[in-house]
């Protein structure tokens, strides 16, 4: 009996070793640390793909933009060129390559994450995903991301006036520059890999991101105030090099598609559960948290409303901008 069990175990190990020897491997790069929401989701995606393919398709996750030198735009180009297999990066970044992605980030457009998720799953979201082929990328899925908040080292922000003269790091996207510039801030586009040092050296006073980012990037070490403003929505693009995608079996393609959908749902639930935990971590590390009241929030919304024509122009596709606004109104 004992020998039989040993033989069974040896046979299982032999089968597993043979399976791994013939496994196909893809790399998946993320821009943020191992503990960030997007890298955790990438690892979950890899886990689901492995389960669906019996370990025959392996996704190796690399965090912190290490595979593309921390330059997000270079990462997109490398993905299209074939030196990256798969990449997760923000829709605000992809707006540099296709301005239609800017439509997602219109300030105070989505009332909550569920509405954003519905939009990403709609025909409009599918149109954005399909448009990725125009820049040489196979779109796999669009994943929601928590709404964005503001942190800084100078003052608790309760009105746009508090932002006058504030040097604020923003993504390399003109919508952010227009919005924060209209409040009198000095928006400073910068790759996220540079943000911690820029905050530490006072090159910039603050930044804005989903609230879990100051936790995973330890920005609480160089920031004092966090304002829950929920000002802009953003999302993640799960993209793949087309040649790598076309080279997969139909079974592997199906596994990737199904795993992406399952991971998006898991991620949305995980993100929601993490918000209070993130706030608690920031407080425990000495940050002061303030949430805008409805009246305070209205002052920020009014700034955004006054920029509607500029936002429409930045999208550069009025039909898509108008259809996005119609979707939000109807849903």
Query: According to the model, what pLDDT value does residue 193 have?
Result: 87
Q: For residue 5, what pLDDT band results from cuts at 50, 70 and 90?
A: low
Helix, strand, coil tally for the chain in percent (to 5)? 55, 15, 25
Query: According to the model, what pLDDT value does residue 23 have?
Result: 87
Q: For residue 74, what pLDDT band results from cuts at 50, 70 and 90?
A: very high
Query: According to the model, what pLDDT value does residue 107 have?
Result: 98
What mean pLDDT do residues 4-19 have?
51
CB atoms within 10 A of CB 167: 18
The whole-angstrom separation of Cα 311 and Cα 103 is 8
The whole-angstrom separation of Cα 179 and Cα 189 is 13
Residue-wise pLDDT tens digits, 281-320: 999 999 999 999 999 999 999 999 999 999 999 999 999 9
What average pLDDT is seen over the chain?
94
Place of tokens 């043979």: 18
Residue-wise pLDDT tens digits, 129-164: 999 999 999 999 999 999 999 999 999 999 999 999
Question: Which among 72, 122, 128, 91 is positioned nearest to 233, based on CA atoms?
Answer: 91
Query: According to the model, what pLDDT value does residue 146 have?
Result: 96
Q: For residue 22, what pLDDT band results from cuts at 50, 70 and 90?
A: low
Question: Which among 21, 65, 12 is positioned nearest to 42, based on CA atoms?
Answer: 65
Q: For residue 19, what pLDDT band results from cuts at 50, 70 and 90?
A: very low
Residue-wise pLDDT tens digits, 266-281: 999 999 999 999 999 9
242 Cα distance to chain centroid: 21
- 8 Å CB contact between 199 and 153: yes
Tokens of 279: 């706030």
The SS3 of residue 143 is strand
Percent of the chain with pLDDT over 70: 93
- 8 Å CB contact between 138 and 226: no
Query: According to the model, what pLDDT value does residue 6 have?
Result: 57
The whole-model pTM stands at 0.90
- 8 Å CB contact between 110 and 233: yes
What mean pLDDT do residues 27-47 have?
96
Query: According to the model, what pLDDT value does residue 152 have?
Result: 98
Query: According to the model, what pLDDT value does residue 282 have?
Result: 98
The whole-angstrom separation of Cα 238 and Cα 262 is 13
CB atoms within 10 A of CB 298: 13
Q: Provide CB contacts within 8 A for 54, sequence distance 6+.
A: 19
Map out the domains of the chain with their CATH numbers.
Answer: 2-146+233-273 (3.40.190.170), 148-232+277-330 (3.40.190.170)
- 8 Å CB contact between 84 and 27: yes
User: Residue 138 forms beta bridges with which residues?
Assistant: 240
Query: Exposed (0-12), middle (13-18) or buried (19+): which is 163, by Cβ within 10 Å?
Result: buried
């Amino acid at each position: 009996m004992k020998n039989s069990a040993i033989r069974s175990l040896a046979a299982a190990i032999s089968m597993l070793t043979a399976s791994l020897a013939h496994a196909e491997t893809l790399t998946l790069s993320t821009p943020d640390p191992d503990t960030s929401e997007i890298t955790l989701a990438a690892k979950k995606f890899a886990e689901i793909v492995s389960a669906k393919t019996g370990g025959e398709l392996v996704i190796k996750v690399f965090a912190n933009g290490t595979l593309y030198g921390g330059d997000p735009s270079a990462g997109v180009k490398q993905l299209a060129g074939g030196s990256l297999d798969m990449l997760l990066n923000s829709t605000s970044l992809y707006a540099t390559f296709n301005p239609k992605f800017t439509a997602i980030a219109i300030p105070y457009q989505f009332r909550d994450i569920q509405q954003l998720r519905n939009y990403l799953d709609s025909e409009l979201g599918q149109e954005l995903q399909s448009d990725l082929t125009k820049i040489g990328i196979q779109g796999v899925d669009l994943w929601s991301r928590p709404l964005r908040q503001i942190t800084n080292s100078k003052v608790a922000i309760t009105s746009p006036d508090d932002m006058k003269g504030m040097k604020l790091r923003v993504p390399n996207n003109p919508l952010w520059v227009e919005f924060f510039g209209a409040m009198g801030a000095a928006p400073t586009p910068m790759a996220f890999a540079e943000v911690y040092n820029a905050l530490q050296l006072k090159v910039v006073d603050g930044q804005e991101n989903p609230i879990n980012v100051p936790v995973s990037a330890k920005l609480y070490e160089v920031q004092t105030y966090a304002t829950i403003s929920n000002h802009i929505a953003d999302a993640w693009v799960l993209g793949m090099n087309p040649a790598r995608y076309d080279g997969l079996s139909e079974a592997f393609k199906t596994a990737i598609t199904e795993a992406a959908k399952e991971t998006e749902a898991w991620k949305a639930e995980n993100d929601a559960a993490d918000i209070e935990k993130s706030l608690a971590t920031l407080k425990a590390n000495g940050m002061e948290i303030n949430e805008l009241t409805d009246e305070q929030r209205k002052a920020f919304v009014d700034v955004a409303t006054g920029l509607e024509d500029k936002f429409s122009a930045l999208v550069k596709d009025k039909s898509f901008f108008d259809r996005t606004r119609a979707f939000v109104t109807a849903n």
